Amino acid sequence: MSARATTAEAAAPRTGAPEAAAPSAAAAPAVPNAETTGRRVEEVLDRLARRDDREASAAAEELVRVLMDFYGAGLARIMHLLGSATGGDGPRTALLRDELVTSLLVLHDLHPEDTATRIGRALDSVRRQHPAEVAEFDADAGTLRLRAADAGGCGCPSTSQQAQQAVEAAVSCFAPEVTSMGWEAAGERAEPALLQISRRPPTAATAS
């Protein structure tokens, strides 16, 4: 089904549905609904089509289709988790652990957890295959430094690069406000300072 057909279906009038009362001047802003949104999208697509710019019109329809696929997948995931999640916390934990649901919540500033917590969830989501940990995080600057945790792997460069890419992709989904990510070089981890032991200076009794 094309994006235009989908929006047209959403905008189709519903037989027998009561008409909404006209909002008063002091009423709160109307909450978007499928019918109104569908009509607005159709109007925009029609305006682009009248400009006789086929490339722009095709790009707009593709944009609508991509967004609807994204939100459709997110809603499907939410419904699946709501129906299958068990435990004392209910579905909340499963929803917050899910990469797709988290990306939707963060996109609309609805996620209840802060950035540091979501970074931890991102690392947990890939820890079994690609263990990593936070070396330093600057929330104000949006910069994150990571270090590879000991995993007992071969340590070859290709494997390391693939692991870093997987970790960075997870962080980008769970915490898109992180604008810069870097990795701590091997052996860069700070070592504890050595305790310097010297011979005890002579006391007054021994000096005499």
> Tokens 């609309």 label which residue?
108
Q: Give the pLDDT score at 7.
A: 52
Give the integer Cα–Cα distance in Å for 146 and 168: 9
Q: How far is CA 15 from the centre of its chain?
A: 40
pLDDT digits (tens, 9 = 90+) for 31-40: 778 788 888 8
With contact defined as beta carbons under 8 Å apart, do 174 and 107 qualify?
no
Higher pLDDT among residues 5 and 83, named by residue: 83
Q: How many residues does the chain have?
A: 208
| pLDDT over threshold 80, residue 22 | no
Give the integer Cα–Cα distance in Å for 142 and 146: 13
| pLDDT over threshold 80, residue 43 | yes
pTM: 0.62
Alpha carbon dihedral 116, 101, 106, 90, in 10-degree steps, equals -60
pLDDT digits (tens, 9 = 90+) for 91-137: 888 898 898 999 899 888 899 999 999 999 999 999 999 999 999 99
Query: Which pLDDT band, with edges at 50, 70 and 90, does 158 fall under?
Result: very low
Pairing of strands 180-183, 143-148: parallel
Backbone phi and psi for residue 177, each to the nearest 5 degrees, phi listed first: -75, -10
Backbone phi and psi for residue 88, each to the nearest 5 degrees, phi listed first: -65, -30
Residues 6+ apart with CB under 8 A from 184: 135, 145, 146, 147
| pLDDT over threshold 70, residue 206 | no
Query: Which pLDDT band, with edges at 50, 70 and 90, does 203 fall under?
Result: low
